[in-house]
Amino acid sequence: MQFGLLGTGFQLFGYEEKLQSNPLQHLFEVYIQVNKEAADDKSVAKLAQEFFRRLELGDVQALSLWQKFRDLSIEEYIRIYERLGIYFDEYSGESFYREKSQEVLKLLESKGLLLKTIKGTAVVDISGNGDPSSICTVMRSDGTSLYATRDLAAAIDRMDKYNFDTMIYVTDKGQKKHFQQVFQMLKIMGYDWAERCQHVPFGVVQGMKTRRGDVTFLEDVLNEIQLRMLQNMASIKTTKELKNPQETAERVGLAALIIQDFKGLLLSDYKFSWDRVFQSRGDTGVFLQYTHARLHSLEETFGCGYLNDFNTACLQEPQSVSILQHLLRFDEVLYRSSQDLQPRHIVSYLLTLSHLAAVAHKTLQIKDSPPEVAGARLHLFKAVRSVLANGMKLLGITPVCRM
């Protein structure tokens, strides 16, 4: 239905040149405007319904407009995701299942699960005992499909196509009930693989504003982070001469953003704070990057001389023992995150590791120590850096070697 609104909105208020130059921004403005109009003017809402119906029936003109919006949006997504180091093998949203959702309705009917209401809609009673809270609407009165119908079609198709071990849906927590209902319906339709479907819900980021106002575009956030990070780096005397300060600022800034986002339960809402994001001390992504860069420079300074000659028996100090014990827990932490699909276990592990490394860096001297002691300490720091880098990469962070 949102698409019916967008299609109608574009016909009323859209500009082709604006669409080409900044698709996401322009479509967003059109969407806001048409929603306002539809709230005040029933005829606009009617036009939107009609546009959506034409889409469902495969009307060429409606579909070509939709296709254009989709292609432009995906181009933008690919470009923005690339900045985050994320690449998708396939983009197939629910709209892809327009035709298949009609097959799902026939299937539900043949299994005796489809109930018609007085209003002419079709519903499924998931509980089987008429409990109103477990009634799910799968068809509108004009015969068009709903989100749930298309998600059923998508799940069945993806099973046919991939024969998956697990299918994980990552969406905001507002869709929790929707997925519970979809998985339940798959179950009562006789698909025992519904057990293998899982919803990972995430919370809302509050108070995130950029210079362009209240609604936040990820790209604006990324640009602002890079800019602020560059300013921070320029004001610090110890910033080394960097080949590409923009790239470093982007990587450190992204680490800051990701760590703030992954620190708590994914489900929890949290208040965004620009100041907290950029602290170089404390539990932040900047601190992780700083630690990694520092350990890297340690290896560069002493690496050639000491790495061959070492004896682990030299690592007797409490700081060394604490680090060794912590390093041993890495696989346990990875296993835990793989089980409950929460990145916070890895985040808290890496932050603790960085704090331990900071203390050790002050107390465990390499310079002027006997060669085998120096070698052992250097190996210990190298192991810390290696685990830190691997953990950061798992979270989608590219470690920097200088900052």
For residue 181, give the CATH number of its domain: 3.40.50.620
* Cα(43)–Cα(296) distance, integer angstroms: 64
* Cα(135)–Cα(124) distance, integer angstroms: 6
* Cα(60)–Cα(213) distance, integer angstroms: 37
> Is 81 part of a structural domain of the chain?
yes
> Is 130 part of a structural domain of the chain?
yes
Summarised one tens digit per residue, pLDDT across range 174-190 is 999 999 999 999 999 99
For the chain, which ranges sit under pLDDT 70?
A: 209-215, 237-240, 304-309
Question: Are residues 85 and 111 part of one domain?
Answer: no
CA 310 to chain centre: 43
Beta strands in 146-245 (DSSP E): 167-172, 197-202, 205-206
> Is 208 part of a structural domain of the chain?
no
The pLDDT value recorded for residue 133 is 82
Question: Are residues 142 and 34 part of one domain?
Answer: no
Element of type H or E holding 123: strand 122-125
> Is 400 part of a structural domain of the chain?
no
* Cα(397)–Cα(390) distance, integer angstroms: 9
Range of the domain at 160: 92-202
The pLDDT value recorded for residue 231 is 87
Question: Are residues 147 and 262 part of one domain?
Answer: no
- The residue from 89, 121, 138 where one domain ends is 89
Q: What is the CATH number of the domain that holds 298?
A: 1.10.730.10
Question: Are residues 337 and 246 part of one domain?
Answer: yes
Question: Are residues 166 and 195 part of one domain?
Answer: yes
The pLDDT value recorded for residue 209 is 61
Question: Are residues 251 and 355 part of one domain?
Answer: yes
Question: Are residues 288 and 170 part of one domain?
Answer: no
**DSSP character for 90?**
-
The pLDDT value recorded for residue 304 is 65
> Is 134 part of a structural domain of the chain?
yes
Strands 122-125 and 115-116: antiparallel
Strands 205-206 and 197-202: unpaired
**Based on the structure, what is the number of domains in the chain?**
3
Question: Are residues 365 and 300 part of one domain?
Answer: yes
The answer to whether 378 touches 306, Cβ cutoff 8 Å, is yes
Of 140, 156, 184, nearest in space to 94 by CA: 156
Question: Are residues 194 and 149 part of one domain?
Answer: yes
The pLDDT value recorded for residue 345 is 98
Question: Are residues 169 and 72 part of one domain?
Answer: no
* Cα(22)–Cα(370) distance, integer angstroms: 62
Handedness of CA 174, 22, 42, 96 (dihedral sign): negative
The pLDDT value recorded for residue 403 is 83
Rg of the chain over CA atoms, in angstroms?
27
The pLDDT value recorded for residue 362 is 92
Question: Are residues 231 and 365 part of one domain?
Answer: yes
Phi, psi of 60 (to 5 degrees): -60, -45
- The residue from 89, 120, 146 where one domain ends is 89
> Is 257 part of a structural domain of the chain?
yes
The pLDDT value recorded for residue 239 is 61
Question: Are residues 364 and 256 part of one domain?
Answer: yes
**DSSP character for 133?**
G
> Is 401 part of a structural domain of the chain?
no
The answer to whether 189 touches 223, Cβ cutoff 8 Å, is no
- The residue from 28, 56, 89 where one domain ends is 89
Q: Give percent helix, percent strand, percent coil of the chain, each to the nearest 5.
A: 65, 5, 25
